[in-house]
């Protein structure tokens, strides 16, 4: 192979990586800013991330949750508390701060991770 072919391959690969990364980050930001109304089923068995898209601490961990949900296919529900209709969950689950992760099994709370504890959740639940 000549140097020019190798150089072209490196440039194309680098360009593809940059475009792919930008697309992924754009998608993450779009999903994070989603303020759709969420309904938690009564017998839900899932992990729920309560967050606000304007919260700096939430933004720090959101990428990892996004990766787990959409890439690793983990059962995680995102609930953005900046949506007024989702704020009913603040009193229902006695939420004090965001981010908060609640693990539900058949609709019953099995574990809770609040604030910096969310990092422990991410460490306990490997990819």
Q: Which residues of 73-97 are buried (b: 16+ CB within 10 A; e: fewer)?
A: eeebbbbbbeeeebeebeeebebee
Instruction: Give tens-digit pLDDT for 78-112.
Output: 999 999 999 999 999 999 999 999 999 999 999 99
For the segment 68-87, the average pLDDT, to the nearest whole number, is 88
Phi, psi dihedrals of residue 108, rounded to the nearest 5°: -105, 140
Q: What pLDDT, on a 0 to 100 scale, did the predictor assign at position 62?
A: 87
Instruction: Give tens-digit pLDDT for 3-46.
Output: 666 666 655 655 445 454 444 444 445 455 567 788 999 999 99
User: Which pLDDT band, with edges at 50, 70 and 90, does 126 fall under?
Assistant: low
Q: What pLDDT, on a 0 to 100 scale, did the predictor assign at position 114?
A: 96
Residue 127 has pLDDT above 90, yes or no: no
């Amino acid at each position: 192979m000549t140097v020019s072919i190798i150089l072209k391959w490196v440039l194309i690969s680098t360009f593809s990586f940059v475009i792919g990364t930008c697309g992924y980050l754009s998608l993450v930001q779009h999903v994070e800013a989603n303020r759709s109304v969420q309904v938690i089923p009564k017998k839900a068995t899932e992990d729920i991330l309560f967050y606000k898209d304007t919260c700096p601490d939430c933004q720090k961990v959101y990428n990892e949750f996004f990766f787990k949900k959409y890439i690793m296919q983990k059962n995680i529900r995102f609930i953005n508390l900046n949506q007024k209709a989702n704020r009913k969950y603040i009193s229902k689950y006695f939420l004090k701060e965001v981010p908060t992760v609640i693990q539900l099994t058949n609709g019953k709370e099995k574990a809770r991770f609040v604030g910096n504890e969310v990092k422990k959740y991410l460490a306990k639940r490997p990819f």
